[in-house]
Amino acid sequence: MPTLFSGYRLGAALTLPNRIVMAPMTRVRAADGGLATPSMAAYYAQRATAGLIVSEGVQPSVIGQSNPGTPGLHTDEQVASWRQVTDAVHVNGGRIFAQIMHGGRVSHPSTTGLQPVGPSAVPATGNVFTPSGPRPAPVPRELATEEVPEHVRSYADAARRAVDAGFDGVELHGANGYLISQFLSSNANLRTDRYGGGITGRIRFAVEAAAATADAVGADRTGIRLSPGGVFWGVEETDAAELNVALLTELARLGLAYVHLEATAGEEVLRELRKTWTGTLIMNPVLPMGPRQTGPEEARHWLELGADLIGFGRAFIANPDLVERLRAGLPLAPVDESTYYTGGDAGYLTYPAYRYGTGDPVSVPA
């Protein structure tokens, strides 16, 4: 059986030195205009020993922006700003995919200047982030049938820009209650046209977005992240097992680089999805933002169950040298959750590598 430290061939061009994936995590450190910054370049470069880095969510359009302070890939200036990030990762020996994230209804007019859009006029549950603090999620404008292909194309257009910016590939964010997830949902998608209704209609947007992206940059540069049965932002998938088997069956025809699953369903469902998807599987073994972080035991369990790569999220925030710590069995530094979304370099660039000789975890800087 492979270990976390076995090499892996991903697609036609990438050889990963290990099976540890840095999962995408929103950090809201972008500059005005959705530009990547030198601090972002340093942050990702510090973590370049990961077999693969998947960036934070990157909006493919103005209306696709969910949170303030997040980066984009829909202008020439944004593309140019990302080159410092991809260059820094590559100089440090790493590989990086851009996660393309359209927020759909999880947005606010005070963030984008536009009314959010969604598959139906059903608001997300809870408060969304805005420049003036959390505010109730607004009712989105339901997309007309003839408008939907424009939003499908936005993923492909952003993917082209990502490759131009030096990314090795892209991951479509189809999870966690954002636009693709909203189309998959049985309660956020109340449509009766070809993008709604039964399972065939509800998976159509995801399949079309993946197909358009694969056509734009190549299937072996295209992955997708999914949260089967997840309930983020109030979405539901009442038929999660059947829905996701159907989705993966269609995605398998495209020859994508990988599917990235979150542990949002029971293990029996996830194992069935592994059987359905015979290509490369990245598995996030624990619930995102749940009480536990992924550790060696969870990783080993899913490698035994047939996952090819293992996603680590929060552990990478406080441990830029996570690969080395896992390899050597070193303790992990705790993360300061209060700095997740505060901007600035504190809690972003201030976590050092393990200090050999102390015998203790590195403490979180004040």
pLDDT in tens, 236-292: 999 999 999 999 999 999 999 999 999 999 999 999 999 999 999 999 998 776 677
Which residues form the domain of 58? 8-318
Q: How far apart are CA 94 and CA 78, in angstroms?
A: 21
Q: Look at residue 172 and tell me if it is in a domain.
A: yes
Domain count for the chain, please give it. 1
pLDDT at 357: 62
- Please give the torsion angle defined by the CA atoms of residues 178, 179, 181 and 187, in that order, rounded to the nearest 10 degrees: 100
Q: How far apart are CA 66 and CA 7, in angstroms?
A: 35
Beta bridge partners of 136: 127
The pTM for the full model equals: 0.95
Q: Look at residue 366 and tell me if it is in a domain.
A: no
Alpha carbons within 13 angstroms on the beta-carbon side of residue 163 total 16
pLDDT at 363: 39
Contact 170, 213 (CB under 8 A): yes
Q: How far apart are CA 116 and CA 106, in angstroms?
A: 7
Which uninterrupted H or E stretch holds 150?
helix 148-164
What CATH number is associated with residue 304?
Answer: 3.20.20.70
10 Å CB burial of residue 133 (0-12, 13-18, 19+) is exposed
Q: How far apart are CA 190 and CA 212, in angstroms?
A: 24
- Determine the distance from the C-alpha atom of residue 136 to the mean position of all C-alpha atoms in its chain, rounded to a whole number: 24
Q: Look at residue 353 and tell me if it is in a domain.
A: no
Q: Look at residue 338 and tell me if it is in a domain.
A: no
59: phi then psi, degrees, rounded to nearest 5? -75, 140
For residue 33, give the amino acid letter. Answer: G
Q: Look at residue 204 and tell me if it is in a domain.
A: yes
Q: Look at residue 208 and tell me if it is in a domain.
A: yes
pLDDT at 318: 96
SS3 50: coil
Q: Which residues are catalytic?
A: 178
Contact 330, 354 (CB under 8 A): yes
Q: Look at residue 169 and tell me if it is in a domain.
A: yes
Q: Look at residue 358 and tell me if it is in a domain.
A: no
